[in-house]
Structure 1
Amino acid sequence: MDNRPIGFLDSGVGGLTVVKELMRQLPHEEIVYIGDSARAPYGPRPADQIREYTWELVNFLLTKNVKMIVFACNTATAVAWEEVKAALDIPVIGVILPGSSAAIKATRHKKIGVIATPMTVTSDIYRKKVESLDPSVRVTSLACPRFVPLVESNETGSSLAKKVVYETLTPLKGRVDTLVLGCTHYPLLRPIIQNVMGPDVKLIDSGAETVRDISVLLNYFEINRSRELNHKQDVFYTTAGVASFQTIAENWLHQSISVEHVSLKEALSDE
């Protein structure tokens, strides 16, 4: 047993889609979450900057004595996951491999679409991962730079969101039978995405698929939290405004949560 919390990092609120699934599958595990909304979105940023920001999030989580770190962000996974995983002595999980594996299982005609941030698409990591697992699959990737700002500004149900999603996804319509939501922000737009793509297209939530891997690793390393501990204190940190983060988080998670503002540079300089 290991009763320390699991750490989650994301560029903002998107990683909450992974947290929601963890709460469903592993409700006894304790969570520390850091969302860098002040610097979101990460997708259009250069790789070196994403790497720098990701390490700041990782180092912040390490100050919270976490037993595992989950990259609940596709962009950070694409740019920095391998490097961080190699450097730490605790398990570090990314969202790309689980999403790729699930898409291969789901596709009927071997036509998979991936929607993601510009950096994730530029890295070509989903296509490489999918084709390494099944070379017969054809992958079509599309950058959706306007999606994350919609989610971060809590406009997921607006007429603007419907217009942006429709305009962005039109090039993929009729070309794929499976669509990977290759950014953890995108499941918050899922109803609109499904409506645009049509009912026959299977949507793959890479973050939700990742929780299965978390469960496997907790068992493998024997670091599950004791089920005899009834009380747990999940804590969520944001680098931007608490009120906006809390509104989005509580609407998505359907429960009250504890949210604190943090300045990463100050927090890390105190260590």
Structure 2
Amino acid sequence: MKKQGIGFIDSGVGGLTVVKEAMRQLPNESIYYLGDTARCPYGPRPEEQVRQFTWEMTHFLLEKDIKMLVIACNTATAAALEDIKKKLAIPVVGVILPGSRAAIKATKNNQIGVIATAGTVKSEMYPKMIHEKDATAKVASLACPKFVPLVESNSYHSPVAKKVVAETLQNLQTSGIDTLILGCTHYPLLRPIIQNVMGNQVTLIDSGAETISEVSTLLDYFDLAEKSDCSEPAERRFYTTGSTQLFKEIASEWLKIEEMSVEQAKLGF
């Protein structure tokens, strides 16, 4: 019997940071990933359009008979998670709640920063989730619109990236936060630069990595987890709406997969 996989959707390559953690924590699970790189970034787009694009990606992966969907994109989670959860028969997980929980647990002075896309910041979902758990927490949010293009163009190691990150985070350096949520799944690829700018006294929270702990719990709860003695090997399938070559370059480096197959996906455009 063919394994059912877990579906991951993102506006581009950022969700691969979530997949990397899934491969580490859940090595027996098959993974189907779709990155909408042709229409990335989602951050500046109207909420209704982001919701439409997220549904298009969801329908694409539902055709692969997935058993769970992970919206590995903060902007899409803010815009579409609740709607999709209501309408699908399979478990659906977003990245905002797990990141919020982890930040509350990590902070010592109750001052939390959030860096994210303009869309995620505008939604105010992180402050809302954090304040639902701890009304006394202080949350400072900052939109970083230049970060996603750095990652999508494979320029996240460049001197330009260092300059852009330093300039963007300047005001946060004196904000008093001791915990910073990387509220976009692209941002962990910039993590070494962000940590250097903010200093080691600031704990960085990878919302995507935290999400996989929740995925693992739900797999067990719904009895969907693959057993290690299963004879069928786990599949890793990757789809993109944009350049398969550029996607492959970034994905193979980040995930350390030498022989990677990346297929073109056609969505509703």
- The two structures have a TM-score, normalised by structure 2, of 0.97
Unaligned runs of 5+ in 2: none
2:266 aligned with 1:263:
yes
Say if 1:2 and 1:226, in contact at 8 Å, map to a contact too.
no
Spell out, residue by residue over 1:33-67, the C-alpha distance to the aligned partner (whole angstroms, 9 max, x if none). Answer: 00000000000000010011000000001000000
| Distance in 2 of aligned mates of 1:234 and 1:100 | 29
Q: How many Å apart are 1:258 and its aligned residue? A: 1.7
Q: Which amino acid aligns with 1:14?
A: G
Q: How many Å apart are 1:226 and its aligned residue? A: 3.1
Is the partner of 1:173 in helix, strand or coil? helix
2:190 aligned with 1:181:
no
Is the partner of 1:27 in helix, strand or coil? coil
Say if 1:6 and 1:67, in contact at 8 Å, map to a contact too.
yes
2:225 aligned with 1:224:
yes
| Distance in 2 of aligned mates of 1:224 and 1:56 | 26
Percent identity, aligned pairs only, is 59
State the match for 1:138 in structure 2.
138
Is the partner of 2:257 in helix, strand or coil? coil
Is the partner of 1:108 in helix, strand or coil? coil
State the match for 1:269 in structure 2.
none
Structure 2 counterparts to residues 176-215 of structure 1, below 5 A: 176-215=177-216
Say if 1:2 and 1:225, in contact at 8 Å, map to a contact too.
no
Q: How many Å apart are 1:233 and its aligned residue? A: 1.9
Structure 1 range deviating more: 2-11 or 176-185: 2-11
| Distance in 2 of aligned mates of 1:197 and 1:216 | 32
Structure 1 range deviating more: 112-121 or 217-226: 217-226
2:105 aligned with 1:102:
no
Spell out, residue by residue over 1:58-116, the C-alpha distance to the aligned partner (whole angstroms, 9 max, x if none). Answer: 00010000000000000000000000000001000000000000000000100000000
Q: How many Å apart are 1:263 and its aligned residue? A: 1.2
Q: How many Å apart are 1:232 and its aligned residue? A: 2.2
Q: Which amino acid aligns with 1:186?
A: Y
Q: How many Å apart are 1:262 and its aligned residue? A: 1.2
Count residues in correspondence: 266
Structure 2 counterparts to residues 54-65 of structure 1, below 5 A: 54-65=54-65
Is the partner of 2:169 in helix, strand or coil? helix
Q: How many Å apart are 1:2 and its aligned residue? A: 9.0
| Distance in 2 of aligned mates of 1:233 and 1:123 | 35
| Distance in 2 of aligned mates of 1:106 and 1:10 | 26
Change (3 A) 1:2 1:116: farther
Structure 1 range deviating more: 14-23 or 252-261: 252-261
Q: How many Å apart are 1:174 and its aligned residue? A: 2.9
Unaligned runs of 5+ in 1: 267-271
Q: Which amino acid aligns with 1:206?
A: S
